[in-house]
Amino acid sequence: MKTVTAGVLLIGDELLSGRTQDTNLRTIAEFLAPLGVQIGEARILADEAEVISANVREFSDRFDYVFTTGGIGPTHDDITADCIAAAFDLDISQRQDAVDELLKRYDPDDLNAARLRMARIPDGASLIKNPVSLAPGFQTRNVFTLAGVPQIMRAMLEDIEHRIEGGTVMAKRTIAVKGKGEGDVGGPLAAIAAKYPDVSIGSYPHFDGDGYGLNIVIRAFNSSDLDACETSIAEFLES
């Protein structure tokens, strides 16, 4: 079994203020799961240079891959590129290959100083294609720096899959339970979880027009462990 992990840094004051609701974490998680990459931690960061650089360094050391979203646009508060460079003690400059990508969208006369900020790339980084707005992201070592706009971020993932060395894919099963809440199953599920330490067990309640219930979700790398755990849960529910 090969375990591969990732950390996610969601950057932007607008996320912390509640003005913008993040959907990128879920998109990245759904992208990585079939590749056998498990997200170990995600953080939302303010637009503060030292905070961003420190978290990039920490996550780069702790995880196999790091994904950052936000802060690579044309405005003064788009500081992620500079923070990535600072995190690895790299210089940063306007790259011609990044300018060439922008020229696919803008006329040369429209490439003002603000837009050219999007062509500033840390030394040694490789570009990540952006098929939506064409302003590239970039990969610095094991850190992928992506746009914050969900539609653009999602499209940029297409240029990342071939760069990922994945691990063992974790299998998942969902057991739907009607008419019971988490308080009804909490004790027995704790006992079952202790019996199967290599299986992740979660319970997620729901309320709708048909009443209430919950979904028990189990995850494991080993299918035999998953089968045995599912059987134990089914026997408990039947009893």
Mean pLDDT by groups of 10 residues along the chain of 239 residues? 95 96 97 96 98 98 98 95 98 97 95 96 98 96 98 97 95 92 92 96 87 92 94 93
Alpha helices in the chain (DSSP H): 13-17, 24-32, 49-62, 80-87, 96-103, 113-116, 150-156, 182-195, 223-238
Report the number of distinct structural domains present in the chain: 2
**Are 125 and 185 contained in the same domain?**
no
Q: Which of 137, 163, 189 is the last residue of a domain?
A: 163
Looking at the structure, do residues 139 and 186 belong to the same domain, yes or no? no
Instruction: Quote the pLDDT of residue 211.
Output: 83
What's 223's domain CATH number?
A: 3.30.70.600
Q: What is the model's pLDDT at position 137?
A: 98
The pLDDT, as a whole number, for residue 9 is 98
Domain that holds residue 231: 171-238
